[in-house]
Structure 1
């Protein structure tokens, strides 16, 4: 097993989708279904990690507004890198002892951005670590 795969297992993370931005938006007449899925599932929270990473699309954070795929693509023109849909199980506390239980039967996903292939693992693991800190602090 590669070191990258081992790190993902340690972090209880997986990558569900990877979209190479320049390839996805290069021809407005042929936008891939994966990019349409991305646009249809943009985070409604303006504080989402994706909008901190790609502020040029933060205006699409309105939960009540479903943006046009070509509008989002237009805001990403000139952007290199990858859109990543990362997943991690939701950790549930087991009593007061600081132990947690998790299962891939109950997990959350988040769209993230990585500037290069080598940035995918650090971006995903940083997001998972942030989720774990939030789960531990809410359980305290």
Structure 2
């Protein structure tokens, strides 16, 4: 027997407030969570409005926190950050504002460190293949191709 808890609008709202207070969330995550809680569309809309009005949900704040965190911890480049934010249905405006959170010097310094580290890790004798492997790694992480190839030409 599939017994799934049902929630009143007030219960769902309290639970989602806690969910949003715990860490920054995007609208899509919250909407999905409410759907999982089997809330009807009208209730979902009402709760979403409440969350936005009471500043539990803020797309721009989410985008900024996301960009800062993923850049600092996972060392993602701007292409990957933009792709991930678009996947979360974040507006172009919020994405542009969020990308300004990254200091240009820190961005280039991070790419430099990542490139050197990866060059040391790749055990490939053929310099062309080595360059290709390092480039693939950096491109996958979302670094812009012109920056990646500039760095590789500098070091390899």
Q: Would you say same fold, with TM above 0.5?
A: no
TM tier, shorter chain?
A: under 0.3
TM-score by length of structure 1 reads 0.21
Comparing both structures, which one devotes a greater share of its residues to strand? Answer: 1
Comparing both structures, which one devotes a greater share of its residues to helix? Answer: 2
- Please tell me whether Structure 1 or Structure 2 has the larger radius of gyration of its CA atoms: 2
- 1 or 2 for the larger relative contact order (CA 8 Å, sep ≥6)? 1
TM-score by length of structure 2 reads 0.19
